[in-house]
Amino acid sequence: MSYCLNPVCPHPENLIHTEACQACGSKLLLSDRFRILHALGQGGFGATFLARNEKLPGQPNCVIKQLRPTATAPHILQMARDLFGREACTLGKIGNHPQIPQLLDYFEANQEFYLVQEYISGATLQQEVKREGTFGELKVKVFLSEILPILQYIHSHQVIHRDIKPANLIRRSHDCKLVLIDFGAVKNQVSDLNASLSEQTALTSYAIGTPGFAPPEQMAMRPVYASDLYALGVTCIYLITGKSPKDLDYDPATGELVWQKQVQVSDHFAKVLRKMLEVSVRHRYQSANEILRDLDLEPYLESLASGMTNVPSQPNTVGRKRGDPSGPDSQDSSASPNARAAMAIRARQTRTESTSLQSGQTRGRVMATKPSVSGAKSRDSGGRTGNSGGGQSSSSPKLDSQGLQSYYSKGKRDFASYDLTELILTRVDLSNAVFHQANLHKVNLHGANLISVNFGRANLSHANLRDANLTKAYLSNADLEGADLRGANLSSAYLLNANLRGANLCGANLTGAKLSQEQLTMARTNWMTIRPTGKRGIW
């Protein structure tokens, strides 16, 4: 079907190859590129459509948002323009994250505004609950372990989403990862109001958000980063109960959501949810990392309580280096199990807090020595946060080849910002690992299994990736200058904005890979190189 974008068209559905709408005569090919297939939804300021780009090879699908205010008053139209412009700027700034839709285009046509972004195939969490039923406690914790690092990432870019809810979280079909969508309500400038308010307080001109999910301060036009955490808490209640906020009671005296009798969860997790759902911003969690830390400590609380009073002296711990794989696992064997658990927790907290002060983001979590309560799988995408800038800090944790493989074998997947310079890792299996912004200069990964690995913003200059399997690898903004990629499998890899100057792609398989012709002109190719179209030949 070819769908007409004219808001007043009486019959917008047309045959797929029609050039002009048969009902109103409007041109059906938007900007001479995009054919609208059908409507996806409509809000107060715009309508969303599924489209395909007929000018690109393969005619890929995309999502197009059309500015379509329900009211025509000048101030409403200006507000809609502001929101659309804000969404475009925000997606342009943070859209490189693999779990946020990428901004593809933003333009005006026929005095209307259009935003084009990546199409995410999959079902929303709202649809998932309706189809498969509610979540148990463990599944909600897995959900939190994946979505919290995404929030930490957008908050580190001074962005408040302001519309976290099940309908705005899609489980992507091809890899089952969660993707946060709909950035039309974001607040992307945070400023102090006066000395008496928090540094995170932001003032916006419009009360934006979904009633019931948005906390009081947001509806009062003063959203903060913790506002997203409240909405996330309400989302957790929905996942557990299947009930939206409007179907739950509120305490008339405090304004708090009454949910405790509706759920069956552990005492510790109930405490975490209560703190997420605090009406008072002051008593609520202030960052996503705080929630992750509390969830990670849960399995060890009992051991910690008894072990703290039973800790023997450790004479040989001073010389240990931070990030040394032998450090956290080499407590005195004479200590009791409870004592060793207590020491491990204290060491973990110290490292996390110290690194968080340096980076201000979630990469302090990469020093963990155990999988989280949600399991190793839940940590895979959690490491996809990291600093927005390039370069390597002198305090970046360092691992040797044996230590890295040991961590990986124990279920650890997050190695964001690590210093892994010149390691020998030939033919190792590191599939699904996260090396966001890591330093992998001159690393030897010859023949390694690197399927779905996140190398976003990583330094891979002069790395040996010959014959490596990089299928579906994420390499956006990675530095691959001088890297040896001969015979590497890069099918469906994401290479946009990667530096390929001098990279050797002779014999590499780039079928379905995302990269530009300009990037390829900077690399070495030959007749054995397989193009993104699947054909061999000289570029």
- The residue type of 204 is T
Domains defined along the chain, listed by start: 2-118 (3.30.200.20), 123-286 (1.10.510.10), 420-539 (2.160.20.80)
- The residue type of 205 is S
395 in Cβ contact with 431 (< 8 Å) = no
Report the half-sphere exposure of 163 (CA within 13 A, side-chain side): 17
pTM beyond 0.75: the answer is no
Residue 112's pLDDT is what? 78
- The residue type of 222 is R
Please indicate if the annotation marks 65 as binding a ligand: yes
- What element of type H or E holds 172? strand 169-172
Residue 190's pLDDT is what? 45
The CA-based dihedral angle spanning residues 314, 320, 324, 328, taken in that order and rounded to the nearest 10 degrees: 10
Q: Is 292 helix (H, G, I), strand (E, B) or coil?
A: helix
518/515 Cα distance (integer angstroms): 8
Residue 192's pLDDT is what? 35
Enzyme catalytic residues: 163
Residue 209's pLDDT is what? 78
Residue 187's pLDDT is what? 55
- What element of type H or E holds 3? strand 2-3
129/435 Cα distance (integer angstroms): 33
Residue stretches of the chain with pLDDT short of 50? 189-207, 300-342, 344-345, 348-394, 539
Residue 186's pLDDT is what? 52
Structure tokens of 258? 């009454």
277's CB contacts (< 8 A; 6+ apart) are 230, 233, 234, 237, 256, 257, 259, 284
423 in Cβ contact with 442 (< 8 Å) = no
Give the tens place of pLDDT for each residue, 241-266. 999 999 999 888 888 899 988 899 99
Give the tens place of pLDDT for each residue, 195-226. 333 333 333 444 467 888 989 898 888 889 99
Residue 352's pLDDT is what? 46
